[in-house]
Chains A and B, each alone.
Chain A
Amino acid sequence: MWSLEQPDNGHKNKSGTNRNSNSGNNRVLSSSSSSRSSPSSNTSILIPQTPRRRTMEEVWKDITLSTFHQERPITPLDHHIYHHHHHANSSPSFKGMILQDFLTGPLNRPLPVSQTVVEQLPLPPHPSPALPETALSLNSGLEFQYLGPDATNSHSNSSSSGHNASFISSAFSSVAVGPPSPTGLFSLCSKKRLQENPAIGVDRHHKRMIKNRESAARSRARKQAYTNELELEISNLKEENAKLKKQYEELRLAIGNSLPKRNPLRRSTTAPF
């Protein structure tokens, strides 16, 4: 089994990023697929098919999709895989699924048929480090929205939840949102998102993530600058205070020393003339 893994590993490592997390994903996934005994449909994925050249992306995608059968995969890949699965397929098998079912975990999902996986050819190339983070933000954005009605302005990341919620609501403003229940909103959101072009969705989230990072960096810089300023002020004031105290003491001593004795020539009585 390991011999089959070798070319795939090599492909993945060459593809390329230097991110340790990405290579970590590679290792986890390859180990999970290796633990599989080989049902016939799955080995057809691993063995390179001669009639058609398989790109590295396809191999990567096949392996990650096949792990849905086995164990809980790394969550960031879920959205990516489902986006691309849908993008190639005109009628995805999970269209009827609502987002809550999606979020309950991979084991409850309607499993895509492996043959359809082999045939399709979706994957627009884009840097793999983008995947975990953008998909993760997508996931967390939806969760924030779920918490939105219950926990508004109650914690420090209310601003992020606020803008995530408003982003999602503005994106789907054309969709009529009837009852304000979370369930209804979720099903509408999931249906709309699945029909959206996944490349644009990923880009938008990526951009927003970058902006969020910049905003967070500005916030940290702001806080740090103010704190430093206050510390400098404190040290300046302490210095000034010490100097003034010393001056006061010196002055007091100086005055004390030079305090004139009672004038011995002062008159005690006035003569009448």
Chain B
Amino acid sequence: MSRDPLILGHVVGDVLDPFARSVSLGVTYKNRLVINGSEFKPSAVVDKPLVQVGGDDLRIFYTLVMVDPDAPNPSDPTLREYLHWLVTDIPATTNASFGREIVCYECPRPASGIHRVVLVLLRQIGRETVFTPEMRHNFSTRRFAMEHYLVPVAATYYNCQREAGTGGRRFIRDDRC
């Protein structure tokens, strides 16, 4: 339905293809749950969040991907997507600390514009089937999922802008963070 926030926020489209939500995903930064489209300051997302994964079978493993599709600037996303975090082999019903962090958490620090930060949960076909990507920038969740036979089962996103930002585009050339 077009009222789905993931579609309205163009997460489905820019990052993912339409998929069916089948597993619950709860992302919590410092006791604040991520709601689609809510705003987080860089100071609030400095440390990695608690990511609670749903499902019911401990033998099924999930991969968590955290990307910024609006890098470096939403009106000029040449580095789409920027990979901030990649955790694999997370058993169902547990959280991300039970998985293997193959790309360590890098806190989002947008220089300009309001960036979406998307967290995607993908189901693996087996264990240790996911390999580390080479670079963080110009990552493609779609391509990554295809290469590793991953299926998206849940996604959420929040907005993040500079600490002192007032939103929107600026034509100031320097990048003060």
Contact = CB atoms under 8 A, between A and B. Distances in A.
6 contacts: A159-B169, A163-B169, A170-B171, A219-B167, A222-B37, A225-B8
A233 B6 CA distance: 14
A214 interface: yes
A103 to B, nearest CB: 23
Interface in B1-15: 3-6, 8-10
A219 B116 CA distance: 12
B150 to A, nearest CB: 25
Interface in A138-173: 153, 158-160, 162-163, 166-167, 170
Interface of A: 153, 158-160, 162-163, 166-167, 170, 211-212, 214-215, 218-219, 221-222, 224-226, 228-230, 232-233
A193 B146 CA distance: 52
A159 B5 contact: no
Given A218-B74, A229-B35, A232-B3, 7 more contacts: A153-B166, A159-B169, A162-B170, A222-B37, A222-B159, A228-B4, A233-B35
Given A221-B8, A221-B10, A224-B8, A166 B36 contact: no
A225 B35 contact: no
A87 to B, nearest CB: 26
A225 B5 contact: yes
B5 A211 contact: no
A170 B37 CA distance: 34
Interface in B123-177: 159, 166-173
Contacts of B168: 159-160, 215, 219
Contacts, number: 63
A166 B172 contact: yes
Interface residues of B, number: 23
B169 A222 contact: no
Given A222-B114, A225-B37, A226-B36, A215 B5 contact: no
A215 B8 contact: no
Q: Which are the 9 A-B pairs with shortest beta-carbon distances?
A: A226-B37, A225-B9, A225-B8, A159-B168, A229-B5, A229-B36, A225-B5, A225-B37, A163-B171
A228 B8 contact: yes
Nearest to B11: A225
B75 interface: yes
Q: Is the interface of B mostly helix, strand, loop or mixed?
A: loop
Nearest to A216: B168
Q: Is the interface of A mostly helix, strand, loop or mixed?
A: helix
Contacts of B166: 153, 158-159
A229 B170 CA distance: 28
B43 interface: no
A170 B172 CA distance: 9
Contacts of A214: 75
A163 B173 CA distance: 11
A4 B75 CA distance: 49
A219 B168 CA distance: 8
A233 B75 CA distance: 30
Nearest to A167: B171
B38 interface: yes
A224 B6 CA distance: 11
Contact of B38 (A159, A211, A215, A226): A226
Interface string B6-38: 101110000000000000000000000001111
A225 B36 contact: yes
B171 A166 contact: yes
A211 B74 CA distance: 10
A215 to B, nearest CB: 5
Nearest to A218: B74
A221 B38 CA distance: 13
Kindly name the residue among A170, A211, A222, A224 whose own CB sees the greatest number of chain B CB atoms within 10 A.
A222
B170 A166 contact: yes
A167 B171 CA distance: 6
A226 B169 contact: no
Nearest to A153: B166
